[in-house]
Amino acid sequence: MNRRPSTVPLPVMMPSRGLLPYYVSEASKLTRAPAVYHLASIVTLLGAILDPISCAYLSWGGGLFRRERLFLWMLLVGPSGNKKTYSSELAIKATAPFLGSRLVSSEGGRRALEDMLLEEPNPVVHETEAGGWFAGNRAGYMDEGASFWTKVYDGYHTPRNRAGGGTVGKRFKVGVTLLLMGPDSEIVRTTRAQDWKGGLVPRLCTCRAGRIERGPGGAEWPARQLAIIRRGIERAIEVAATAHYLRLTRQARELWERWQDRHERKMATVSDLHENIGSRIPWHVLRVSAIYAASRLSATVETSDVVAACNFGRFLRDCSLSMEPVS
């Protein structure tokens, strides 16, 4: 496993103003956890909040367009004890009033999630032991397991009869958010190369950070800062709900397309396995850029949002390329 660190500075990976820089700054005062974990956690949960009410709208002109969902699948990895779980729990504390019963812990991987989708089509899965979760998913990888994750990521689920095969219900829309975490060594140990080439793993955003200085676990949110953060989320919801579509300007779209071209050229130089892992990063970037726009209370995705999201995407790509299963 290549352990090269990413060299992308944190400030260029997020908007220069609005909710996100405030959140990351305040969360960083509470813990020694790598600040990028705070960014990854809050972006993922904010996307989960916005996804049922809005989407990224990408227009090429001439009647060609694409609507991109806003939910993300985020995997925080790093050595044991570097506060991955604590970082995610800070974000959950901040967003809990907006997520309500959608926030769940799913054990058993794909099988448990299938059952959950029948009750809650927009779950937010927070799993602190991703290694075991992946192992559970591997056990259910047969019987179209990979295509299950592909379809769920595309935003649809068709209930199936597990015993006899065939469908037992009509396809319906879903929006699954994943916020997973675990030691990088455990993630590598509990997965196989086939898992990384299709289905679940290539659709994950991998956010990897290193060891931290040992110390106290961290503090709770001060009431004032928590109120400011929640008010910022409320205002972002208002913007997204009013606009419904978070539209990219022409300049922002063209910038994203140029970055996508550069990314694809980069992927042509890596192994087939890593090319699979990194194949969807441009679409993660598009989703993140729309979340960034809403976080600064705009329904228009500007070039500055895309620049920051592309930098975050470059960081996530570096993290993905630093991971490799042992077999």
Tell me whether residue 77 is in a domain: yes
Tell me whether residue 5 is in a domain: no
Tell me whether residue 299 is in a domain: yes
Kindly tell me the burial class for residue 226, based on how many C-beta atoms sit within 10 Å of its own C-beta (0-12, 13-18, 19 or more).
Answer: middle
Confidence of residue 219 (pLDDT cuts 50, 70, 90): confident
Confidence of residue 52 (pLDDT cuts 50, 70, 90): very high
Tell me whether residue 126 is in a domain: yes
Tell me whether residue 4 is in a domain: no
Per-residue pLDDT tens for 113-149? 888 898 999 999 998 888 888 877 765 544 556 788 8
Confidence of residue 4 (pLDDT cuts 50, 70, 90): low
Tell me whether residue 181 is in a domain: yes
d(CA 295, CA 289): 10
Residues 183-206: b if buried by 16+ CB within 10 A, e if exposed? bbebbbebbeeebbbbbbbbbbbb
Angle at 181 between CA 113 and CA 123, to 5 degrees: 30
Number of domains making up the chain: 1
Confidence of residue 167 (pLDDT cuts 50, 70, 90): low
Tell me whether residue 20 is in a domain: yes
Tell me whether residue 180 is in a domain: yes
| Six-digit token string for 226 | 């928590």
Return the biggest CA–CA distance within the chain: 58
Confidence of residue 233 (pLDDT cuts 50, 70, 90): very high
22 has pLDDT over 90? yes
d(CA 233, CA 253): 25
pLDDT, residue 189, reads 83
Per-residue pLDDT tens for 77-123? 999 888 999 999 999 999 999 999 999 876 666 777 888 898 999 99
Q: What is the CATH number of the domain that holds 283?
A: 3.40.50.300
Per-residue pLDDT tens for 30-51? 988 999 999 999 999 999 999 9
Residue pair 276/325 in contact by the 8 Å Cβ criterion = no
| Residue 125, beta-bridge partner list | 104, 178
Residue pair 146/138 in contact by the 8 Å Cβ criterion = no
pLDDT, residue 2, reads 46
The strand pair at 245-248 and 172-173 is best described as unpaired
Structural domain range at position 179: 10-213+221-321
